[in-house]
Amino acid sequence: MPSLAGHKLDKYDMLEEVGHGGMAVVYRGRDTILDREVAVKVLHTHLADREESRRRLQREAKTVAKLRHDNIVEIFDSSDPASGAESYIVCEFIHGVTLRDWLDERWSPRPALAAMIAHRLCLPLEHAHSMGIVHRDIKPENVMIRDDGCLKLMDFGIAQILDTQRLTTTGQLLGSPAYMAPELISGKPVDKRIDIFALGVMLYQLATNELPFSGRNPAQVLNRILEGDFKRPSLVDPKVDEDLEAIIAKALAREAADRYQSAKSLAADLEAYLAGLELEPSPAELAGYFGDPDTYLPKLDERVCRALTRRATQAMRAGNGARALKLLGRVLEIDPRDQRAAAMLDKVRARGQRMRQAAAVAGGLAAMGIIAAGVLLLRPDPPKPGSLESEDTMLAGPGGAYQHIPAQNPDRPPLPFGVADTEETETGEDEADGGSTTGFAGSAGAGQDEVGDGGRPSGGGRPPPEGALSFPCTLEIEGLPAAVLAGGDYRLSVAGTGKNLPARASVELEVAPRTRVSLVGESYEGAVILDQSSCSAGPVILRARSKPAVLSFQSAEIPLKELSVSCKKGCSVKDRRASNFPSLPFSRNETEMFVTLVFKAKSYREETQELRLTPGTNTVVVSLEKLE
């Protein structure tokens, strides 16, 4: 298409070309009637070359023009469908740069800043969705940063206007592969939740500076999106905490029903996350950042560290050692030189160690008492009921023996083991004695514990009495990706009874001795036997094992029984029909597998795909080029 710069298009002087993309060429123009600066987007000819396409463009442009929001680029005008000339849309001209440009040149990832930007973009999305308009092409290139720091979402509805025509004329999907929702790729019905998915991709990208789904070519990217598995954000950037990870995982859920159902609900979770950092997602915050990022970012880090330190202090006062350790760890990820956080961390760890030692001593004494009691209880004649004190209870046990359960004072619930009624200062010191082993509740009896270098509890806990009919146990699941956990598709089978698995993969159970617990789901499996000794030592780990990778091939033009598949790299399968391709087992501790497959069919050109496989079903889209 020849440039229109220096020419006139209807009532618009085309002053200069300022951008171009797959859909349009953008010009800075001047409305000669209203004498105002505008942006004129002239669509490529092949996207709107028929009168019906031009009429639909006008209808949809009128619909989108009704949107009135501070964060949406306003549409002023569109071309006359009967003119037969260029098809174009006229909108307000934004002085600034795109978010894509900012990411490439100025971005330094901060989870809090990522949440603020994503929250701000939720607002125009919710407004558009409430009017039945879906964007369909959310990506950094379609977000403008105005000179005053205001974010402007542009090209609303353009993808929807052109999608049918492009599919008809070129057979291609319209949009950026890395941001496309699974249902858009697979041709299923779509709704506003595809915008939620795309915004989730952007949130991941803003938080880590990497895309969740990437590959050497678009086919690889699309297949990885269909698989629905991605690297946990915290593994890419340790500053991303589990709270933001859970939000990202829900936004990126493979099934639309498992995602946020509205931009409003996503915004609410982001706002709550920021409130925990004592931040408000206001326009002033973003204006401060985009206006002077070099000054804003150090101050933001200081504010976040102060908020996390205050929360850690509150957790310590509440006896929640594990929570305090996590919060202080986040502070040191942001600022490794924070001496106050380091001192508090050492204090918490030292107390956790003392509490474990105290728990071990208590456990030894309890065991000695049980042995002595057993000698007395294993007598031929059990005590007569009348000889028992009315406040006590006797429970029949094996072999006719009885277990003596002492009564408790109903007026005062027992304190967790190791907890004393002491107040702590903000640095974690005890005001009473400056270092009492009972001034802070560690893991013993309260389910909390010192966290080691890997960020997991390292042991501890009050041993349950031997011979108890049931006992508490903390079970942690390892090996499940964050996206799999957030999807809610996995359950635990506890002695044959189903139990929901929470998103954080940590479950508090009340079980009988030798209880079998197994993981139930499509892609991962595992089992463990729970007993008193393992549960009293701290959280019990159930390690998820990868099920074999099952390949589900999809081809619109070739029957699967006529499609031949051979493994060139990563496996040993040769010349098998796609309809009966075998599953591929994983090695121990592996959760992904890279293979290169060659696809052949009569009268079609051979195709090679490099795939990343995950446990369970993997959808593989095959599209071969027909030979002339």
In this structure, the answer to whether residues 114 and 74 fall within a common structural domain is: no
Q: Closest by alpha carbon to 113, among 237, 212, 207?
A: 207
Give a yes or no: residue 387 inside a domain: no
- Residue % of the chain over a pLDDT of 90: 37
With a cut of 90, say whether residue 281 has pLDDT above it: yes
**Looking at residues 504-524, what average pLDDT do you find?**
83
- Residue % of the chain over a pLDDT of 70: 74
Higher local confidence (pLDDT), 215 or 117: 117
* Residue where one domain finishes, among candidates 258, 291, 324: 291
How distant is the alpha carbon of residue 329 from its chain centre?
20
Q: Which helix (H) or strand (E) covers residue 67, if one does?
A: none
How distant is the alpha carbon of residue 299 from its chain centre?
27
With a cut of 90, say whether residue 194 has pLDDT above it: yes
Question: Cα–Cα distance between 176 and 142 in angstroms, integer?
Answer: 11
Give a yes or no: residue 175 inside a domain: yes
Decide if 438 contacts 420 (C-beta within 8 A).
yes
* pLDDT the model gives residue 428: 43
* pLDDT the model gives residue 454: 39
* pLDDT the model gives residue 469: 75
Sign of CA dihedral 499, 505, 510, 513: positive
* pLDDT the model gives residue 575: 85
State how many domains the chain has: 5
Of the residues 77, 137, 338, 430, only one is catalytic, namely: 137
When pLDDT is cut at 50, 70 and 90, the band that residue 484 belongs to is low
In this structure, the answer to whether residues 231 and 119 fall within a common structural domain is: yes
Decide if 607 contacts 596 (C-beta within 8 A).
no
For position 504, which CATH number holds?
2.60.40
Contacts of 492 (CB under 8 A, 6+ apart): 475, 498, 499, 500, 501, 507, 517, 518, 519, 520
In this structure, the answer to whether residues 247 and 170 fall within a common structural domain is: yes
When pLDDT is cut at 50, 70 and 90, the band that residue 490 belongs to is confident
Sign of CA dihedral 204, 206, 210, 215: positive
Amino acid at 338: D
What angle in degrees, to the nearest 10, is found between the helix axes of 293-317 and 111-130? 100
In this structure, the answer to whether residues 13 and 42 fall within a common structural domain is: yes
With a cut of 60, say whether residue 433 has pLDDT above it: no
* Residue where one domain finishes, among candidates 546, 566, 597: 546
Higher local confidence (pLDDT), 454 or 288: 288
Q: Which helix (H) or strand (E) covers residue 553, if one does?
A: strand 549-554
**Looking at residues 407-420, what average pLDDT do you find?**
39
Give a yes or no: residue 132 inside a domain: yes
**Looking at residues 301-314, what average pLDDT do you find?**
94
Sign of CA dihedral 190, 98, 262, 62: negative
* pLDDT the model gives residue 455: 39
With a cut of 80, say whether residue 23 has pLDDT above it: no
Residue 68: strand pairing partners: none
**Looking at residues 472-480, what average pLDDT do you find?**
85
Residue 600: strand pairing partners: 564
Decide if 476 contacts 506 (C-beta within 8 A).
yes
3-state secondary structure 525-550: EEEEEECHHHHHCCCEEEECEECCEE
Query: pLDDT tens-digit profile of 603-625?
Result: 999 999 989 888 888 888 888 88
With a cut of 70, say whether residue 322 has pLDDT above it: yes
* pLDDT the model gives residue 477: 85
Report CA-CA distances (Å) from 416 to 90, 100, 244, 462: 67, 52, 31, 9
With a cut of 50, say whether residue 418 has pLDDT above it: no
* pLDDT the model gives residue 180: 94
Residue 529: strand pairing partners: 516
Residue with tokens 């002695």: 495
When pLDDT is cut at 50, 70 and 90, the band that residue 410 belongs to is very low
Question: Cα–Cα distance between 190 and 185 in angstroms, integer?
Answer: 10
In this structure, the answer to whether residues 306 and 328 fall within a common structural domain is: yes
Question: Cα–Cα distance between 192 and 160 in angstroms, integer?
Answer: 12
Range of the domain at 182: 96-291
Question: Degrees (nearest 5) of the Cα angle 330, 335, 341?
Answer: 65
When pLDDT is cut at 50, 70 and 90, the band that residue 501 belongs to is confident
Residue with tokens 């000819």: 45
DSSP 276-345: TTT----HHHHHHHHH-HHHHHHHHHHHHHHHHHHHHHHHHHTT-HHHHHHHHHHHHHH-TT-HHHHHHH
Q: Closest by alpha carbon to 446, among 358, 519, 516?
A: 358
**Looking at residues 403-420, what average pLDDT do you find?**
38
Question: Cα–Cα distance between 512 and 252 in angstroms, integer?
Answer: 38
* pLDDT the model gives residue 618: 85
Report CA-CA distances (Å) from 613 to 419, 578, 581, 597: 49, 16, 14, 12
* pLDDT the model gives residue 47: 66
Report CA-CA distances (Å) from 601 to 163, 443, 557, 577, 581: 30, 62, 10, 10, 15
With a cut of 60, say whether residue 103 has pLDDT above it: yes
When pLDDT is cut at 50, 70 and 90, the band that residue 415 belongs to is very low
**Looking at residues 65-92, what average pLDDT do you find?**
88
Residue 542: strand pairing partners: 477
In this structure, the answer to whether residues 483 and 542 fall within a common structural domain is: yes
Decide if 503 contacts 456 (C-beta within 8 A).
no
Give a yes or no: residue 167 inside a domain: yes
Decide if 213 contacts 221 (C-beta within 8 A).
yes
In this structure, the answer to whether residues 522 and 590 fall within a common structural domain is: no
In this structure, the answer to whether residues 73 and 103 fall within a common structural domain is: no
With a cut of 60, say whether residue 74 has pLDDT above it: yes
In this structure, the answer to whether residues 87 and 204 fall within a common structural domain is: no
Give a yes or no: residue 136 inside a domain: yes
Show contacts of 199-202: CB within 8 Å, 24+ apart: 199/118, 199/121, 199/122, 199/125, 199/138, 199/251, 199/263, 199/266, 200/248, 200/250, 200/251, 200/252, 200/259, 201/252, 202/118, 202/121, 202/138, 202/139, 202/140
The three-class DSSP label of residue 190 is coil
Query: pLDDT tens-digit profile of 155-170?
Result: 876 655 544 444 333 3
Question: Cα–Cα distance between 155 and 136 in angstroms, integer?
Answer: 10
Query: pLDDT tens-digit profile of 332-381?
Result: 889 888 888 888 888 887 766 666 566 556 655 555 655 555 545 455 55
* pLDDT the model gives residue 372: 52
Query: pLDDT tens-digit profile of 32-58?
Result: 999 999 999 988 777 666 676 677 777
Chain-wide mean pLDDT for the chain? Answer: 79
In this structure, the answer to whether residues 114 and 242 fall within a common structural domain is: yes
Q: Is 137 annotated as catalytic?
A: yes
With a cut of 50, say whether residue 171 has pLDDT above it: no
When pLDDT is cut at 50, 70 and 90, the band that residue 128 belongs to is very high
Q: Closest by alpha carbon to 94, among 116, 75, 120?
A: 75
Give a yes or no: residue 48 inside a domain: yes
For position 255, which CATH number holds?
1.10.510.10
Structure tokens at 137: 């092409």
In this structure, the answer to whether residues 168 and 252 fall within a common structural domain is: yes
**Looking at residues 300-309, what average pLDDT do you find?**
95
With a cut of 80, say whether residue 471 has pLDDT above it: yes
Give a yes or no: residue 451 inside a domain: no
Give a yes or no: residue 246 inside a domain: yes
**Looking at residues 260-288, what average pLDDT do you find?**
95
* Residue where one domain finishes, among candidates 65, 92, 119: 92
In this structure, the answer to whether residues 486 and 570 fall within a common structural domain is: no
